Amino acid sequence: MNADHEAAVVRFLDKLHDEVHPDLQVALAGFAEQAVYQSLVPARQPIVGRTAIAAELGKQFGRYTECACEMIAIVSNDRYVFTERRDHVTMTSWNKRTFSSVNAVFEFDDSGAIVWWREYWDTGDIAGQLGLTADQMKAMHGVTPAP
């Protein structure tokens, strides 16, 4: 267990979920300059760099409001923090409250900075809550449907 890394992840998630439009520069302060974020493994390509990650998160916060992160489990070792959580959001285009079960892995470097953040969740679950097809949901997240 690495209590410092776990605390850093919880602080980060709290900063993302405590405001309607969080200060992304403050939230991402614990990330390495060239950190990598993959918002939907394996469907989305990794995003490299704090600036690009902030831009992606800005797009995400444009699609929903009232984001609340319910932490279910957190476990770590010297390099990784694994979280299981349920994110509750109000989707602005539908004015509908939804939730997503998310597993996320945060990887730390030797200096204690986050260098990788990978999230695993089911777009089909949210699509069903919104009455969308899987392809519509993928398109909303920038994923090209398979031919």
Residue 115 backbone dihedrals phi, psi, to 5 degrees: -110, -20
Distances (CA, A) of 34 to 37, 86, 98, 121, 130: 10, 27, 32, 24, 35
- DSSP secondary structure, 83-102, as one string: EEEEEEEEETTTTEEEEEEE
Name the range with the highest mean pLDDT among 17-21, 47-51, 137-141.
47-51
Give the pLDDT score at 118: 98
* C-alpha to C-alpha distance for 121 and 119, rounded to whole angstroms: 7
Give the pLDDT score at 19: 62
The mean predicted confidence, pLDDT, of the chain is: 89
Indicate yes or no: pTM above 0.85: yes
Give the pLDDT score at 21: 72
Does residue 20 register a pLDDT over 90? no
Q: Which domains does the chain have, with CATH numbers?
A: 3-140 (3.10.450.50)
Give the pLDDT score at 7: 97
Please tell me the number of Cα atoms within 13 Å of 26 on its side-chain side.
Answer: 11
Q: pLDDT tens, 74-133?
A: 999 999 999 999 999 888 888 999 989 999 999 999 999 999 999 998 877 777 888 888
